[in-house]
Copies of this chain bind each other. A is one copy, B any other.
Amino acid sequence: MKAQAAESRIEQLCVEHGLKMTGQRRVIARVLSEADDHPDVEELYRRALSLDSRISVATVYRTVRLLEEKGILERRDFGGGRARYEATEHGHHHYHLIDVDNGRVIEFEDPEAEELMRRMADRLGFEFVSLRLELFGKKKKQSASAATPHRKGETT
């Protein structure tokens, strides 16, 4: 029997959104599903190529744009010119702490932040739509302080 790769999480979403599933889209969907970081188009292209050589950057650009429009992906800008992407996480939003020394990205949650900004939007006479929040910091040398709560992981 053939170990036919199971439908990736993002592939499912594509189908639910009525997208035509071509081979290249399936590969890109899989790459995105398996990514736990914030790859840019170049990187997605590289990863996709290693799974299937019949893919062009143009298609990656087109796919990524399409998926963003469908709300399946979110575009990020951590500085450095190129857009980064990550799968939309339903519910619990998270934000990013960028280590200014090496560009590494740490995700964290903070329900308070969104609450605060919802109230601020309201006070300014606006309906909250979304929040972009990026924290830049330098790693502390060493400290006797406790663990690192709310931390979700460190990636790129």
Show the binding face of A for B, using Cβ within 8 Å.
Answer: 77, 97, 99-100, 106, 108, 110, 112-113, 116-117, 120-140, 143, 145, 148-151
Contact = CB atoms under 8 A, between A and B. Distances in A.
A125 B108 contact: no
B124 A151 contact: yes
Contact of A116 (B112, B136, B145): B112
B110 A137 contact: no
A133 to B, nearest CB: 5
Contacts of A117: 113, 133, 135
Q: How many copies does the complex hold?
A: 2
B121 A135 contact: yes
A100 B125 contact: no
A127 B110 CA distance: 18
B138 A127 contact: yes
A124 B110 contact: no
14 contacts: A97-B121, A99-B126, A100-B129, A108-B120, A108-B124, A112-B116, A117-B133, A124-B148, A125-B143, A126-B138, A126-B139, A127-B140, A128-B135, A132-B133
